[in-house]
């Protein structure tokens, strides 16, 4: 179907977001990342599943460490 309105593709939207981010100064980039992390921490704090998410995150970190140690043990000589 040929619509008279063109919607941007997901790729185009992402590329525009990247261009806007890259156009910021280094300080603005850091502040944007800090805001994003603060918003994520806030959402985690009010989530009814916050305890589960924290436990899951810790388990994933332990699994990551274990996998890295296994990899090094297998390949380091």
Q: What is the pLDDT of residues 8-65, one digit of tens each?
A: 899 999 999 999 999 999 999 999 999 999 999 999 899 999 999 999 999 999 999 9
Q: With the C-alpha atoms ordered 33, 21, 18, 16, is the resulting torsion angle positive or negative?
A: positive
- pLDDT value for 1: 66
In this predicted structure, the answer to whether residue 2 has a pLDDT above a threshold of 80 is no
Q: Give SS3 for 8.
A: coil
Q: How far is CA 36 from CA 27, 32, 55, 65, in A?
A: 14, 6, 22, 26
| pTM for this predicted structure | 0.59
Helices marked H in the chain: 10-23, 26-46, 50-75
Please return the burial class of 51, using the count of CB atoms within 10 Å of its CB with bins 0-12, 13-18 and 19+: exposed
Residue 6 or 68, more confident: 68
- pLDDT value for 72: 95
């Amino acid at each position: 179907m040929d619509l008279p309105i063109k919607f941007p593709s997901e790729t185009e939207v992402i590329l525009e977001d990247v261009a806007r981010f890259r156009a910021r100064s280094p300080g603005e980039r850091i502040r944007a990342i800090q805001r994003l992390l603060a918003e994520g921490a806030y959402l985690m704090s009010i989530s009814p599943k916050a305890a589960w998410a924290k436990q899951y995150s810790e388990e994933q970190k332990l699994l990551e460490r274990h996998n890295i140690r296994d990899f090094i043990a297998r390949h380091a000589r």
